[in-house]
């Protein structure tokens, strides 16, 4: 039997923080959790857009008994990440689900306020810093989970340790693949470190397959490409909805059968679309030495550590 949003267990009393929740996968994930009774905090860079999403989600919140709230969170800025984490801790003092969903795709080279290549800074380092700052709120919660959302780009990704920020050579798709591979490596290494510390928090990863979201539009707009819009139109029949694309991360976040360090994605057409299932991890992410090296470098860059 296929796993759908109807399969999600009751989430009443649980508190979830979803990054990038004002559109696409994050919005659909919030909608599903609200319908099952969770309180969902939308962690978004733009509060006006978050307000629009909140208005749209009120019906799901009302019908499911959950509640939707907002948190200003710009993952490109470590100062903002730390401020948001502190605000979240002061406001709630607990957390059950952290879904690291926000992301950028295939942008021309830009730098974050902290001087990081933008895709690595937002997709990996911002979430790395946020997760470590919020772990104390998760540590004593039953069935607490951290879900890192990656993509199929992990399979061609490579961590360029000698040029992480693309200063000597920059390819926007290679930078995206690096950041998505980093998401999986982080999820696996976090699970290992939590296990070593005897913590029950689960760390998992998920990818949406080929889903229709704002990522494609943002990438096209940023690059001014004539070819990419044509390619996306030609591939249109393969694209699945954002609601379907959100199912793997919802499975990772809620399914009782999801396993520590598990990685979930669609089950059809080589992981491009379909229902959630356990899927293969990029071979590069299975190298424990490389994962530890990335973790150490990420600690150095974000000046945060796992206590």
Cα atoms in the Cβ-side hemisphere of radius 13 Å centred on 72:
8
Distance, CA of 5 to CA of 32 (rounded, Å):
6
Identify whether 307 is part of a domain: no
Spatial separation of the C-alpha atoms in residues 72 and 151, rounded to whole Å: 25
Q: Which two tokens stand for residue 103?
A: 């992301």
Residue 2 resides in a domain: no
In which band, very low, low, confident or very high, does the pLDDT at 21 lie, cut at 50, 70 and 90?
A: very high
pLDDT at 229: 54
Q: In which domain, by residue range, is 200 found?
A: 9-301
* Residue 282 placed within a domain: yes
Contact 149, 183 (CB under 8 A): yes
Decide if 176 is catalytic.
yes
Domain assignment present for 4:
no
Tokens of 263: 């990685």
Q: How many CB atoms lie within 10 A of CB 7?
A: 16
The percent of residues above 90 in pLDDT, for the chain, comes to: 84
By residue count, the chain amounts to: 307
| CATH assignment of the domain containing 186 | 3.40.50.720
Pick left, alpha or beta for residue 24 (phi over 0 → left; psi -120 to 50 → alpha; otherwise beta): left
Question: What confidence tier does 138 reach under pLDDT thresholds 50, 70, 90?
Answer: very high
If residue 200 lies in a helix (H) or strand (E), which one and from where to where?
none
Tell me which of 155, 170, 176, 264 is the catalytic residue: 176
Q: What are phi and psi of 171, to 5 degrees?
A: -125, 125
Say whether 274 sits in a helix, a strand or coil. strand
pLDDT in tens, 274-302: 999 999 999 999 999 999 999 999 999 99
The least confident of 22-31, 42-51, 207-216 is 207-216
Residues 6 or more apart whose CB falls under 8 angstroms from that of 69 comprise 39, 40, 41, 42, 54
The number of folded domains in the chain is 1
Q: Which residue did the predictor score with more confidence, 239 or 274? A: 274
Q: Would residue 1 count as lying in a domain? A: no
Identify the pLDDT of residue 216.
44
* Whether this model's pTM surpasses 0.75: yes
Residue 304 binned pLDDT confidence (cut-offs 50, 70, 90): low
Q: Is 175 contained in some domain?
A: yes
Q: Where are the alpha helices (DSSP H) in the chain?
A: 24-35, 47-64, 78-92, 118-119, 127-138, 172-196, 214-223, 227-234, 242-245, 247-254, 288-302
Q: What sections of 65-161 are H helices per DSSP?
A: 78-92, 118-119, 127-138
Residue 62 has pLDDT above 90, yes or no: no
Average pLDDT, the chain: 92
Residues 305, 129: Cα–Cα separation, whole Å: 9
Range with the poorest average pLDDT among 15-29, 50-64, 100-114? 50-64
Establish if 16 belongs to a structural domain: yes
């Amino acid at each position: 039997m296929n796993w759908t949003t109807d399969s999600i267990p009751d989430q009443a009393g649980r508190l979830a923080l979803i990054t990038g929740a004002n559109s696409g996968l994050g919005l659909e994930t919030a909608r599903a959790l609200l319908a099952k009774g969770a309180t969902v905090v939308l962690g978004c860079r733009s509060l006006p857009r978050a307000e629009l999403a909140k208005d749209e989600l009120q019906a799901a919140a009302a019908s499911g008994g959950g509640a939707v709230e907002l948190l200003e969170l710009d993952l490109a800025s470590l100062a903002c990440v730390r401020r948001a984490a502190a605000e979240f801790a002061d406001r709630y003092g607990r957390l059950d689900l952290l879904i690291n969903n926000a992301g950028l795709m295939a942008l021309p080279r830009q730098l974050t306020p902290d001087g990081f290549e933008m895709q690595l800074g937002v997709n990996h380092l911002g979430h790395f810093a946020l997760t470590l700052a919020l772990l104390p709120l998760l540590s004593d919660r039953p069935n607490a989970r951290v879900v890192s959302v990656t993509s199929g780009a992990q399979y061609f990704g490579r961590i360029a340790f000698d040029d992480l920020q693309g200063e000597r050579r920059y390819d926007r798709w290679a930078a995206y693949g690096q950041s998505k591979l980093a998401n999986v490596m982080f999820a696996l290494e976090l699970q290992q470190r939590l296990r070593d510390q005897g913590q029950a928090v689960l760390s998992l990863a998920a990818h949406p397959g080929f889903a229709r979201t704002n990522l494609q539009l943002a990438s096209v707009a940023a690059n001014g490409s004539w070819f990419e819009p044509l390619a996306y139109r030609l591939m249109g029949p393969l694209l699945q909805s954002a609601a379907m694309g959100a199912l793997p991360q919802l499975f990772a976040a809620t399914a009782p059968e999801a396993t520590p360090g598990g990685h979930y994605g669609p089950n059809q057409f080589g992981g491009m679309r379909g229902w959630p299932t356990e899927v293969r991890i990029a071979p590069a992410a299975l190298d424990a030495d490389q994962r530890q090296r990335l973790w150490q470098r990420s600690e150095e860059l974000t000046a945060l550590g796992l206590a």
